[in-house]
Chain A
Amino acid sequence: MTIFPPMHRMRDEWFGNVRGDVLAGLVVALALIPEAIAFSIIAGVDPKIGLYASFSIAVIVAITGGRPGMISAATAATAVLMVTLVKEHGLQYLLAATVLAGLLQIVAGLLKLGYVMRFVSRSVMTGFVNALAILIFMAQLPELIDVPMLTYIMVALGLGIIYLFPYVSKTIPSPLVCIIVITALALIFGFDQLRTVSDMGELPSTLPIFLIPDIPFNLETLRIILPYSVAVAAVGLLESLMTASIVDELTDTTSDKNQECIGQGIANTCTGFIGGMAGCAMIGQSIINVQSGGRGRLSCFCAGVFLLFLIVVLGDWVGRIPMAALVAIMIMVSIGTFSWSSITNLREHPRSSSIVMLATVVTVVWTHNLAIGVLIGVLLSGIFFAWKIAQLFRVTSELSPDGTTRRYRVEGQLFFASVEDFNAAFDFRESVEKVVIDVGNAHIWDISSVSALDMVVLKFRREGADVEIVGLNEASETIVDRLAVHDKPGALDDLLGH
């Protein structure tokens, strides 16, 4: 395992699609600015912190990540996790937590934890994107509550421009048109009651500089930042890996998930040192990127560079953009991120998967922590799956013609969830001389089922019957944690066949 992506594909990944990547990078940068500002405000820091972060994360992940064509920057998912940290301890602790989160992500990548993504089911993923869309939308609420009527008109106008302008031209990004028109209106008619970006805090005026977070380096600091760093690292990786699979699907290519973990980690670590907050991959922006023709590493890189260029050069003008324009763009991102088909699918999909999806959404909206939501979703999917598999189980029996021997045939999956059915299937009141339990067509998966079988044998003995168990060897092959199906030829056939 190396820290950097393999060299041999670099040329293709960087320069395989220069024109598409540069154009897409520009489109993405325009949408990144409002996001970075909005997410800084969520976290309770100056827009500068989010803008520096978006620049640095985009540029570094472009170099170190494992999924070309994906956009990473400061995100809502990580910003909401750090609200209390900033409120109680201040910006410097946020920077330190960012560095630590990055280091944790690098470790996760080196340990190849990308592997655990396979336990995140489709329903959990849908729940995740829906919850994320809701979080992004909720983050706009402060700009929409207790504001003059004019703000609503401007937001509505902005949304109108964003959604309708593409019918006029698809070569000019409609979010850009939205920003320009609304800013122009505000300046021409002197809408002073509209809040502008510069009201939200300091904007960057220079390139970012290297700095070490100004915190005491002791265990107490670690105790404060560690919980936040763990949450940020987990959520960051989850969103990044999920976005990576979405981009995989859209572009019909593969990506290196563990490399992506390491890349995200390096980006966050470095970002903390130049005064930026933690971030990760962004679902909405990545979709915009692919839609605009971005496929290579260059698009994410360009997005970061354009972003910083626009901010540093046009900083004064950016400050005058009314928040209403940015809110309109963020509402679009929220709508585009939400999986609307999941609502119509609620009726058609199996109830268990709908419950998993809704549980994920509800938990996230409640805790503002995507990691907890996903954890709940994954646990529920596991439980539902076990419940379903437990039904693949039956016990049949027949009495010998002379009435002295009963033969039970156990078939199917025997594990903790089917033990109760297993126990209920035996008739201990029947007095027979001999009981044969044939488990040759069953799979014994765990210790629960072994002890259940022992108990059944014991019970029959107490009733005065001799007990014989047939086919135990075949049945218990599944109990070892690693099924040796890959190193014994034909082992899988045996397992499936008996």
Chain B
Amino acid sequence: MAKLIAFIDGSIYSESVCDHAAWIAKRTAAQVEVVHVLGRRMISNAPGNLSGRIGLGARTALLEELAESDAQAAKLAQERGRAILNDAKARIEGEGVGDVGTRLRNADIVETVQEYEAGADLIVIGKRGLAADFARLHLGSNLERVVRSSTRPVLVASRAFRPIKRVLIAFDGGRSVTKAVDFIAGLKGFDGLDFRLLSVGQENAEMRRKLEAACETLRAAGYVADARVEPGEPEKVIAEMSEADETDMLIMGAYGHSRIRNFIIGSTTTEMLRSCKIPVMLFR
């Protein structure tokens, strides 16, 4: 792996994002780029003027007023962003990663991902952002947009980092998960990592064969790999197994269905992200 990009926003997940990024970067000797996105300015915090009055030179006056308040807000955000990035850089370098860059961008996060992902192999992002409502277990509003728009694997960091030893792969035999297996097999520096491949549903020969092939690929790359098939509801079984096995990370394909379908019946991916307390690596 050559480069990974970590997106942070200064929430409590930022530290975890840095730790996850550092953990991977150290083993793969990858370069880390930490990005903080200031976000589009939808709303100026100009004092509410509901007078509905426009007087002489209304346009110029309004433009100046808005520009002034934007400038103040932007300066503050910039200072804060720099501070967040410097903390992150120090934290990652403290873990022994040599090459850490920082970027501060005035843009939408999805646009930034699309702009930067070309040079990167992995994107790391927090499960929730600053704006998320923790009490209701809402996922970060940007997470789904980032995962959907990115062509790279996305590692969704959990609240706190713990060293990763055992990894559960939710195996459905589809393209995304095959891509995931190939991606992992291509990595160097994680020897001895223990992979559990889990397929949920009726056991059949086809699935067995695919599972075995995936295990072979992983073993050939120097990992420990083991496969099994369990009946039941995928969301439930995966969550239960990951808890029972004390796995440290979950790997799965993401958002295989259209937005419309997700809107109506909900998304498996979102459900999994919400119920699992461990980091999840998503492949599209």
Contact = CB atoms under 8 A, between A and B. Distances in A.
A175 B42 contact: no
A295 B53 contact: no
A476 B117 CA distance: 43
Contact of B42 (A162, A166, A288, A296): A296
Interface residues of B, number: 29
Nearest to B54: A336
Contact of B53 (A17, A162, A246, A251): A162
Contact of A166 (B43, B51, B62): B51
Interface stretch (A23-31, A354-362, A390-398): A23-31
Contact of A290 (B40, B51, B62): B62
A20 interface: yes
Contacts of A31: 52
Contacts, number: 108
A235 to B, nearest CB: 20
A246 B42 contact: no
B52 A288 contact: yes
A174 B52 contact: yes
Contacts of A173: 50-53
A307 to B, nearest CB: 14
Interface in A127-180: 162-163, 165-166, 169-176
Contacts of A296: 42
Contact of A27 (B41, B46, B52, B60): B52
B42 A171 contact: no
Nearest to B110: A8
A335 B56 contact: yes
Given A8-B145, A251-B66, A293-B46, A332 B51 contact: no
A32 to B, nearest CB: 11
A218 interface: no
A340 B56 contact: yes
B43 A20 contact: yes
A336 B57 CA distance: 7
Contacts of A7: 259
A75 interface: no
B66 A341 contact: no
A285 to B, nearest CB: 9
A54 to B, nearest CB: 16
Contacts of A208: none
B40 A253 contact: yes
Contacts of B44: 251
A341 B49 contact: no
B130 to A, nearest CB: 16
Per DSSP, chain A at the interface is helix
A292 interface: yes
A425 B57 CA distance: 49
Contact of B70 (A27, A252, A337, A340): A252
A250 B66 contact: yes
A339 B59 contact: yes
B58 interface: yes
A290 B50 contact: no
B50 A284 contact: no
A291 B43 contact: no
B42 A336 contact: no
A24 B110 CA distance: 29
Contact of A163 (B46, B55, B67): B55
A172 B58 contact: no
A202 interface: no
Interface residues on A, range: 35 or more
B40 A292 contact: no
Nearest to B145: A8
A27 B55 contact: no
Given A246-B59, A250-B59, A170 B50 contact: yes
B50 A292 contact: yes
Given A8-B145, A171-B50, A172-B50, A16 B42 contact: yes
A346 to B, nearest CB: 15
B44, B47, B58, B70: most-surrounded residue (chain A CB, <10 A): B58
B119 interface: no
Given A173-B50, A339-B59, A293 B43 contact: yes
Interface in B53-85: 53-60, 62-63, 66-67, 70
Given A16-B42, A253-B40, A295-B42, A175 B52 contact: yes
Contacts of A251: 41, 44, 66
Interface in B1-54: 40-44, 46-54
Given A17-B42, A252-B41, A293-B43, A170 B66 contact: no
A281 interface: no
B51 A174 contact: yes
B57 A341 contact: yes
B226 to A, nearest CB: 40
Interface string A275-302: 0000000001001101111011000000
Nearest to B40: A253
A337 B59 CA distance: 8
A17 B40 CA distance: 13
A5 B40 CA distance: 19
A12 interface: yes
Contact of B43 (A246, A249, A295, A336): A295
Contact of B59 (A27, A163, A287, A292): A287
A162 B44 CA distance: 25
Nearest to A334: B54
Contacts of A442: none
Nearest to A283: B59
Given A8-B145, A30-B52, A165-B51, A291 B57 contact: no
Interface string A324-347: 000000001101110111000000
Contact of B48 (A23, A176, A253): A23
Among all A-B residue pairs, the 7 with the closest Cβ atoms: A336-B54, A173-B52, A166-B51, A336-B58, A27-B52, A16-B42, A170-B51
22 contacts: A16-B42, A16-B43, A20-B43, A24-B50, A165-B53, A166-B51, A170-B47, A170-B48, A171-B50, A172-B50, A175-B53, A251-B41, A252-B66, A290-B62, A291-B49, A292-B49, A332-B53, A332-B55, A336-B54, A336-B55, A336-B59, A341-B60
Interface of A: 7-8, 12, 16-17, 20, 23-24, 27-28, 30-31, 162-163, 165-166, 169-176, 246, 249-253, 284, 287-288, 290-293, 295-296, 332-333, 335-337, 339-341
Given A165-B53, A172-B51, A173-B52, 17 more contacts: A7-B259, A8-B145, A12-B42, A23-B50, A166-B51, A172-B50, A173-B51, A175-B53, A250-B62, A251-B44, A291-B62, A292-B52, A332-B55, A335-B55, A336-B55, A336-B58, A341-B57
